[in-house]
Structure 1
Amino acid sequence: MVGPERPQFVLFGSSIVQLSFSNEGWGSILADIYARKADILLRGYCGWNSRRGLQVLEQIFPKSLSPTTRIIFLSTPPINEQQIKETLSGKFGKVNRTNEDCRVYSEACLQLCQEMDVNCIDLWTAVQQRDDWLTTCFTDGIHFSPEGSKIVVKEILKVLREAEWEPSLHWKSLSTEFSEDSLYDPIGPDAKTTINVSDMDVERHMQWE
Structure 2
Amino acid sequence: MRPRIYLLGDSITEESFTEGGWGATLANHFCRMVDVVLRGYSGYNTRWALKVLEKVFPEAPPSQGDGDGGGGAPVAAVTVFFGANDATLPDRCSGFQHVPLNEYKHNLHSIVSFFKKLWPKAIVLLITPPPIDEVARLQYPYTDNPQGLPERTNEAAGEYAKACTAVAAECGVPVIDLWTKMQQCPDWKKEYLSDGLHLTKKGNQVVFDEVVAKLRDEGVSVESMTAELPLIADINPNDPLKAFQ
Smaller-chain TM-score bracket: 0.7 to 0.9
Matched position secondary structure for 2:27? helix
Shift of 1:193: 10
Q: Look up the equivalent residue of 2:134 and give its one-letter code.
A: E
> Does 2:27 correspond to 1:31?
yes
For residues 131 and 179 of structure 1, do their structure 2 counterparts lie closer, same or farther at Cα, with a shift above 3 Å needed? farther
Distance (Å, rounded) in 2 between the aligned partners of 1:144 and 1:103: 17
Query: What is the 5 A alignment of 1:28-177?
Result: 28-63=24-59, 64-87=117-140, 89=141, 91-94=142-145, 95-163=150-218, 168-177=219-228
Q: Look up the equivalent residue of 2:7 and give its one-letter code.
A: L
Where in structure 1 are there 5+ consecutive unaligned residues? 185-191, 195-209
Where in structure 2 are there 5+ consecutive unaligned residues? 60-116, 241-245
Distance (Å, rounded) in 1 between the aligned partners of 2:192 and 2:156: 18
Matched position secondary structure for 1:9? strand
Distance (Å, rounded) in 2 between the aligned partners of 1:193 and 1:142: 55
Distance (Å, rounded) in 2 between the aligned partners of 1:132 and 1:32: 28
Contact 2:137 2:151 in 1 (8 A): no
Distance (Å, rounded) in 1 between the aligned partners of 2:45 and 2:119: 26
Q: Look up the equivalent residue of 1:173 and give its one-letter code.
A: S
TM-score (norm 2): 0.68
> Does 2:2 correspond to 1:6?
yes
Q: Look up the equivalent residue of 1:30 and give its one-letter code.
A: L
Matched position secondary structure for 2:166? helix
Q: Look up the equivalent residue of 1:129 and give its one-letter code.
A: Q
Distance (Å, rounded) in 1 between the aligned partners of 2:187 and 2:224: 33
Contact 1:23 1:145 in 2 (8 A): no
Contact 2:3 2:35 in 1 (8 A): yes
Q: Look up the equivalent residue of 1:10 and give its one-letter code.
A: Y
Matched position secondary structure for 2:185? coil
Matched position secondary structure for 1:42? strand
Distance (Å, rounded) in 1 between the aligned partners of 2:230 and 2:239: 17
> Does 2:229 correspond to 1:178?
yes
- State percent identity of aligned pairs: 36
Shift of 1:62: 4.1
Shift of 1:131: 1.9
Matched position secondary structure for 2:54? helix
Q: Look up the equivalent residue of 2:47 and give its one-letter code.
A: R
The count of residues paired between Structure 1 and Structure 2 equals: 177
Q: Look up the equivalent residue of 1:92 and give its one-letter code.
A: T
Query: What is the 5 A alignment of 1:189-200?
Result: none
